[in-house]
Amino acid sequence: MADDLNLFSGFVKSVAHSSVESLRRNKLPACLSAVALALTTALAMTSDFDERPRYRRFVLPEIEKAEKQFFDAMDEAAETSNDLWRVRYFIEAHRRAKAALRAIRSAHAMTATGRKAHNELIRYYESVDEELAIIRTEMSFNDSYDYIAEWQRKNAEMLPIRQRWASWVNALSQ
C-alpha cells in the first residue's frame, strides 16, 4: 500500500476509500446533507426571485449616468448651429456611447429574465456604436451628409430594442 500511495492513482484510490468509509460511519449526517442539498437546489431553481429592486438600486444609477452623458452630447450635436461644434459633439457622443456600453457590460443581472433584458440593452448600445461608426465613415466621404437626421432615423429603428430593457426595469415588482 505504501508504494501504491506514491502513484496518483493510488492517492485517488486512498481518498475514495476514506470517503466511502466516512460515509459508512456517518450515515445520518450524510443523508441529511444530501436531502438539504437536494431541497436547496430545487428551491433555488424554482424560485421566482425578482431582482429589479436590487438592479434599480445598484446597477441602474450608473447606467442612467452613462446614458445621460451620451444623450446629452447627442442633443447638443442636434441643437448647435455651428457645423464644427456639431461634428465635435457628434464625435463626443460616439465616445460616450462606447463608455455607456463599457459601463453596461460591467454590470450583471442575476436572473434569467434580468440577463435577457440586460442583454437587450447591451445589444442596443452595440448597435448604436456600429451605426455611429458607419455614420462617421460616411461623414468623412460626404461633406453635405445630414448625419444628425441619419442618426435620428437609425435610433428610431433601434429604440424598440432598448424599450424591452426599459419595460423590464420599470415593471412593478412582485
95-137 pLDDT, tens per residue? 999 999 999 999 999 888 999 999 999 999 999 999 999 999 9
The answer regarding whether domain 52-170 maps to CATH 3.10.50 reads: no
Q: For residues 15 and 18, what is the distance between their CA atoms, to the nearest angstrom?
A: 5
Segment among 24-33, 77-86, 161-170 with least mean pLDDT: 24-33
Residue 2 has pLDDT above 80, yes or no: no
The domains of the chain are located at 2-46, 52-170
Q: Which residue has the cell 429603428?
A: 157
154 with 135: CB under 8 angstroms? yes
- Using alpha carbons, select from 50, 173, 170 the residue that is nearest to residue 121: 170
Three-class SS of residue 49? coil
Segment among 47-51, 58-62, 93-97, 133-137 with least mean pLDDT: 47-51
- State the CB neighbour count (10 A cutoff) for residue 77: 21
Give residue 173's pLDDT band: very low, low, confident or very high (50, 70, 90).
low
If phi > 0 it is left, if psi is from -120 to 50 it is alpha, else beta; for residue 107 that is: beta
